[in-house]
């Protein structure tokens, strides 16, 4: 192979397969929509510990997907090799929040659609999806559920506590009950009439009640 044959290779010919302008427009748009996805994720996050790295990942994932799809649509042979290369990749990071999966697919879908040149679909679709998430995820329940962990001395104390709760809360339901010698532990789902939690103090001072713990939860209790 001569020196001139090197510069006539198909490898160097692929340099101009995607124009600089197309790359710049696609990456700028993917960054902008990725930032929008990140802001929606930040506004709708309801987990225990917020991870800023996951939000940054959404921006990067949108741009990376755009780059990959731009390369794939410019070369049919490359698209087949890309499928084989990505099929051997294994991701081990656990997704703790189910809603995070939706954001990951959203970022990937936007990258694919932008690289395919469907800019209106990517922009309008992202606005609609983001608005829907902001409305439904941030929708506050009129009556937030709580879990009450109650430790009683005997069945009589348990009965007094239940009678008192029925008067102070809107709804009271036993989720689990553990009985041991000298102690009965109840896990109860309650829905309060208002934000006043003074009834817990009164409940803990009742005769035969060892402790009363009130915990807020998101309604996905598995009992």
Tens digits of residue pLDDT in 50-91: 778 888 999 999 999 898 888 777 766 566 666 655 655 565
pLDDT at 146: 85
Q: What is the pLDDT of residue 23?
A: 87
Last residue of a domain, one of 113, 137, 161: 137
Q: Which of 137, 158, 177 is the last residue of a domain?
A: 137
152, 80: one domain:
no
pLDDT at residue 50, rounded to an integer: 72
Q: Is there a single domain that holds both residue 46 and residue 149?
A: no
Q: How close are the terminal C-alpha atoms of the chain, in Å? A: 72
pLDDT the model gives residue 222? 38
**What is the residue range of 162's domain?**
145-216
pTM greater than 0.75 (yes/no): no
Compute the distance between CA of residue 12 and CA of residue 117 in angstroms, rounded to an integer: 25
For the chain, the domain total comes to 2
Domain boundary among 118, 137, 156: 137
**pLDDT attached to residue 131:** 93
Residue 154 in tokens: 């005997």
Q: Which residues of the chain have pLDDT under 70?
A: 1-17, 47-49, 75-95, 139-143, 217-223
Alpha-carbon distance of 147 to 136, in angstroms, equals 24
Over the Cα atoms of the chain, what is R_g?
Answer: 28
Q: Could you give the 3-state DSSP secondary structure of residue 106?
A: helix
User: What is the reported pLDDT for 154?
Assistant: 86
Identify the pLDDT of residue 21: 87
């Amino acid at each position: 192979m001569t020196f001139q044959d090197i510069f006539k290779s198909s490898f160097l010919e692929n340099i101009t397969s995607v124009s600089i302008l197309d790359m710049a427009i696609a990456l700028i748009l993917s960054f902008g929509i990725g930032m929008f996805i990140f802001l929606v994720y930040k506004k709708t996050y309801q987990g225990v510990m917020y991870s800023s790295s996951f939000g940054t990942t959404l921006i990067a994932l949108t741009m990376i997907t755009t780059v990959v799809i731009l390369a794939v649509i410019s070369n049919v042979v490359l698209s087949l090799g890309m499928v084989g290369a990505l099929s051997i990749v294994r991701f081990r990071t656990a997704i703790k929040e189910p809603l995070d999966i939706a954001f990951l697919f959203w970022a990937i879908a936007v990258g694919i659609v932008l690289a395919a040149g469907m800019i209106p679909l990517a922009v309008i679709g992202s606005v609609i999806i983001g608005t829907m998430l902001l409305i439904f995820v941030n929708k506050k329940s009129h009556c937030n559920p709580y879990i009450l962990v109650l430790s009683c001395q005997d069945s009589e104390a348990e009965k007094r506590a239940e009678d008192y709760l029925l008067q102070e809360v809107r709804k009271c339901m036993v989720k689990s009950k553990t009985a041991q010698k000298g102690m009965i532990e109840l896990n109860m789902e309650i829905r309060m009439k208002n934000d006043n939690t003074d009834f817990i103090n009164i409940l803990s001072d009742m005769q035969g009640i060892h402790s009363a713990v009130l915990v807020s939860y998101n309604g996905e209790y598995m009992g």
